Each structure stands twice: as C-alpha cells, then as structure tokens.
Amino acid sequence: MACRPSHNQATINTPIPRLVGAPCEGCEAILAYDKHSLKPVDTLAGFDSKLKKLLISGTIYQADGRTPAAAVVLYIYHTNAEGVYPQRKEDTGWAKRHGYIRGCVITDKKGQYAFYTNQAGNYPGRDAAAHIHPTLLEPNGKYYYVEDYYFEGDPFLTERELKPKAPRGGTLGVLKLTQEGDLWLGQRDFILGRNVPNYE
C-alpha cells in the first residue's frame, strides 16, 4: 500500500503540522496521506520483482528512549536498483519527485513498524552510499527527517554515515542485514526528537 493523498483536511490539520529541525526539502510529503488507512506494516512498489528483498523493522520510542511511541507515522522512499527515483506516466504529486518506491507506516501500540522493499541502488556517477530516506510525523503534529538508512558494506559509506556524532533520531543508520530465506532482514529503532535541532 503506497502513501495515498488524504481528502480529509481535518485529518491532516488536527493537530496543526509543524516542521522542526528545518530545513527539510520534501518532508511535507509525509502529510499527503490518509492516516486512517495506514498500518504498522507496508510493502513498497516493486517488492514482487526478482531484486534483493528487504524486510526492515524496528521500534520507535518516546524521548526517554524507553517508552514505545504509538501512532507515529514513518514515511520512506528510495531509488531503484539503478539508483534513480522511478516514475510512472500517471504519477502525480510527490510520486513525481520521490518516485513510486515509497510508503507509509504507523507504529502500533508497542511502537513497532516494518516495511518490505528491495535494495536501493547507488546514484549513477556519484560516490554516494545507497540509502532510504525516512521522515517522522508525531501524533502532536511535529514532523522532521531523521538519519537515512544505509547498508553495511557499501563501498561509498563515509565516516559521516559510519560514525555520526549526533544522529537525528538517536540511532546509527547503517543496517547490518542478515539473510533468512529469500529475505534480508534489517533492524533500526528511533527515539523521538533525539538530536533534532529546535525540537522543543
């Protein structure tokens, strides 16, 4: 289930969304959804292909780093295996900027989320590590980007990704994938507001 635009403005605007930790190009894409249609698990477009299949899961915690945070929306998008953000002719809105490999999940009562997708590719002609872009939207309306998901062993990883001094979201973004059948599993937790400037 991909992110779908909401036609209920009251759903989006209650409470009023507030970007924190700005600037953030494209973070408002997380607002273009119908919150009531979201689930803790999503499958991104293209997962049924023969590409390397990933299952990424984790827990989102309150600012104390211990209490699970329910009803937090996580928006993710990434490139295809060729390193481009693919579009379809019929795509509109954010799908034209972020491509159609994107999705939304909402944490359950235990703060847990998961999404199925394929391995992202490196940008063509650039020495940039492959990554997945995440944005968080809290129930109180605060939204912001957190550190990208990266993948252990990527030759383009730098010290910035491997040893961030103060990672947004509180955790290292580099995933160590383990294989289970035809799936590669990765785990990543987040802490709300951790290392996000002007969070309060």
Is residue 187 a part of any domain in this protein?
yes
Q: What is the dihedral of CA 198, 79, 3, 7, to 10 degrees?
A: 80
**CA 64 to chain CA mean position, Å:** 21
User: What is the predicted pLDDT for the residue at 9?
Assistant: 41
Is residue 197 a part of any domain in this protein?
no
Is residue 196 a part of any domain in this protein?
no
Is residue 2 a part of any domain in this protein?
no
Provide the pLDDT confidence category of residue 50 given band limits of 50, 70 and 90. Answer: confident
Is residue 99 a part of any domain in this protein?
yes
Provide the pLDDT confidence category of residue 14 given band limits of 50, 70 and 90. Answer: low
What's the CATH number where 86 sits?
2.60.130.10
Provide the pLDDT confidence category of residue 195 given band limits of 50, 70 and 90. Answer: very high
Contact 59, 189 (CB under 8 A): yes
Is residue 200 a part of any domain in this protein?
no
Q: What is the pLDDT of residues 145-193, one digit of tens each?
A: 999 999 999 999 999 999 999 999 999 999 999 999 999 999 999 999 9
Q: Give the residue numbers spanning the domain of 46.
A: 9-191
Is residue 172 a part of any domain in this protein?
yes
Question: Stretch 54-67: mean pLDDT, rounded?
Answer: 98
Q: How many CA atoms lie within 13 A of 57 on its CB side?
A: 12
Into how many domains does the chain fold?
1
Q: What percent of the chain has pLDDT over 70?
A: 93
Provide the pLDDT confidence category of residue 140 given band limits of 50, 70 and 90. Answer: very high
Identity at 73, one-letter amino acid code: V
User: What is the predicted pLDDT for the residue at 3?
Assistant: 56
Please name which of 74, 8, 10 lies closest in space to residue 38, comparing C-alpha atoms: 74
Is residue 198 a part of any domain in this protein?
no
> What is the 8-class DSSP label of residue 78?
E
Task: Give the strand pairing for 142-145 and 132-137.
Answer: antiparallel
Q: What is the pLDDT of residues 100-132, one digit of tens each?
A: 999 999 999 999 999 999 999 999 999 999 999
